């Protein structure tokens, strides 16, 4: 296995030396030049030693801090955390019929994520609400996450102005700019433009995140057969090269800034021209994404309950559990898209969200070791019951039955009915509202605030 990873590694470095990588911003190009990297225009050409020196600046482990310390996450090592769906614009019902996602959907998912014990991180683009102007939606989603949950925060990439507004809102929630920048609170995902380019949006997100000392997920997504080589092996080499280049760029600009290695492959369906995310070769690439991250000693993100199925079905179940198990078995630090995804990222399903939570529970339980304590081995109970007895009425059964039971009855209604909004200090909440109104304007800001405060009965929104 090590020989395989070494060959991929060296081939990726060959690409960065021969072809180079487009960095798309003069500040980033200048930072690389200061590190001795040859830059022609906005194309950087890396030597192997330069890549490895810059990679060595990235921390092998870091803590992401939540408003509630019980939800802090230590990224790196062999610990895996789960994160919900990200980026879909549609809601799919049980029959696969789709509708545009609304801000109410975002609120429901933010509360479901908060309620689930499997998630220590919330936010990002749980769904893309279509009833809020695009230039304001990221701020609305972030505000909803801050108010609805006290878990760690997934950020959203954007322009310099977008990120300034977002980090201003976060600073208000975390005690001011200086206090916010002291610790990692917001983990933002950026992509490359394959092949071998860092787009302006990701470049500006890097610069803003570095200014506020907030960590990044570097997540190239070459599509095998379209924006990457059609062979899984070639696509892995390209995706790895892009991940290494962007991490090097980040460390040149901001040495020590925490990053997650996050190569997230897909494949092109040659019959339809669409994207596939759950074919065997795609999941195999995802496996090597995690293996390469561990090879470099970096924390990483990986895909979760991925499926190309358009409905909740046997296909969606089998594909999702296969992808989820590969991510978990390879100790991915953060498994995004763990719950709800349908139809190759394009839709989210409430029904699948619940089924995926059960799959997460299943996999987590499978991964635990046996507890060989006397209490768990039940030796005294076995002796007391003896030959031909029964265990149903024993005290040992009463004591342990809930923890041993696998509960398949949890539903959305029950989760939402038990939801309670984590309390903010009243002055902080007022300051958050004022910050949102300042950046979004009275009309759209008021809509967001009122939606959050009025939606307390949690109507299940499948009939919208």
Average pLDDT per 10 consecutive residues for the chain, totaling 464 residues? 92 98 96 97 97 98 97 95 96 91 96 96 97 94 97 97 96 96 97 97 98 98 95 97 98 98 90 90 95 96 94 95 95 96 95 94 88 92 94 92 76 89 90 95 93 64 44
Strand partners, 123: 154
Do the Cβ atoms of 208 and 164 come closer than 8 Å? yes
In whole angstroms, give the CA distance from residue 383 to residue 395. 13
- At 188 the pLDDT is 98
Do the Cβ atoms of 47 and 285 come closer than 8 Å? no
Q: How many CA atoms lie within 13 A of 65 on its CB side?
A: 13
In whole angstroms, give the CA distance from residue 169 to residue 212. 12
Do the Cβ atoms of 440 and 140 come closer than 8 Å? yes
Buried b (16+ CB within 10 A) or exposed e, 258-287: bbbbbbbbbbbbeeeeebbbbbebbbebbb
Which CATH number is 62-366's, of 3.40.640.10, 3.40.1030.10, 3.40.50.300, 3.20.20.480? 3.20.20.480
Do the Cβ atoms of 223 and 275 come closer than 8 Å? yes
- At 284 the pLDDT is 95
User: 461: closest CA among 96, 102, 51, 56?
Assistant: 102
Q: Where are the domains of the chain?
A: 2-55, 62-366, 374-404
- At 219 the pLDDT is 97
Do the Cβ atoms of 307 and 53 come closer than 8 Å? no
CB atoms within 10 A of CB 294: 19
- At 464 the pLDDT is 41
pTM beyond 0.75: the answer is: yes
Do the Cβ atoms of 313 and 350 come closer than 8 Å? no
């Amino acid at each position: 296995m090590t020989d395989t990873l070494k060959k991929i590694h060296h081939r990726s470095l060959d690409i960065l030396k021969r072809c180079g990588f487009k960095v798309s911003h003069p500040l980033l190009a200048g930072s690389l030049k200061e590190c001795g990297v040859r830059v022609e225009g906005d194309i950087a050409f890396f030597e192997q030693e330069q890549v490895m020196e810059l990679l060595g600046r990235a921390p092998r482990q870091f803590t992401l801090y939540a408003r509630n310390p019980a939800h802090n996450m230590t990224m790196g090592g062999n610990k895996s955390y789960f994160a919900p769906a990200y980026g879909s614009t549609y809601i799919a019902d049980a029959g696969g019929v789709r509708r545009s996602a609304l801000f109410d959907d975002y609120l429901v998912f933010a509360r479901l994520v908060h309620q689930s014990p499997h998630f220590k991180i919330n936010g990002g683009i749980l769904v893309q609400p279509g009833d809020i102007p695009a230039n304001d939606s990221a701020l609305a989603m972030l505000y909803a996450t801050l108010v609805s949950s006290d878990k760690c925060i997934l950020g959203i990439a954007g322009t310099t102005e977008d990120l300034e507004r977002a980090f201003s809102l976060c600073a208000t929630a975390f005690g001011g700019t200086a206090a916010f920048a002291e610790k990692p609170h917001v983990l933002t995902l950026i992509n490359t433009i394959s092949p071998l380019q860092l787009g302006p949006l990701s470049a500006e997100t890097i610069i803003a995140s570095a200014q506020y000392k907030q960590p990044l997920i570097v997540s190239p997504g070459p599509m095998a057969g379209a924006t990457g080589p059609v062979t899984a092996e070639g696509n892995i080499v390209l995706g790895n090269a892009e991940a290494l280049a962007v991490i090097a760029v980040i460390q040149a600009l901001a040495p020590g800034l925490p990053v997650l290695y996050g190569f997230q492959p897909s494949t092109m369906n040659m019959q339809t021209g669409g994207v596939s995310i759950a074919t065997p070769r795609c999941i195999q690439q995802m496996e090597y994404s995690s293996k390469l991250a561990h090879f470099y000693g970096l924390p990483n993100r990986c895909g979760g309950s991925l499926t190309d199925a358009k409905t909740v079905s046997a296909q969606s179940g089998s594909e999702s559990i296969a992808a989820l198990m590969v991510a978990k078995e390879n100790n991915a630090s953060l498994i995004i898209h763990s719950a709800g995804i349908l139809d190759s990222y394009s839709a989210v399903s409430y029904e699948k969200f619940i089924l995926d939570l059960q799959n997460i529970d299943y996999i987590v339980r499978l991964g635990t070791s046996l507890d060989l304590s006397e209490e768990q081995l039940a030796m005294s109970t076995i002796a007391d019951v003896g030959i031909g007895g029964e265990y149903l009425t024993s005290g040992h059964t009463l004591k342990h039955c809930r923890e041993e039971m696998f509960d398949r009855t949890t539903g959305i209604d029950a989760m939402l009915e038990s939801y309670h909004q984590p309390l903010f200090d009243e002055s902080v909440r007022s300051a958050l509202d004022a910050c949102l109104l300042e950046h979004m304007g009275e009309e759209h800001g008021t809509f967001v605030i009122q939606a959050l405060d009025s939606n307390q009965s949690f109507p299940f929104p499948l009939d919208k």
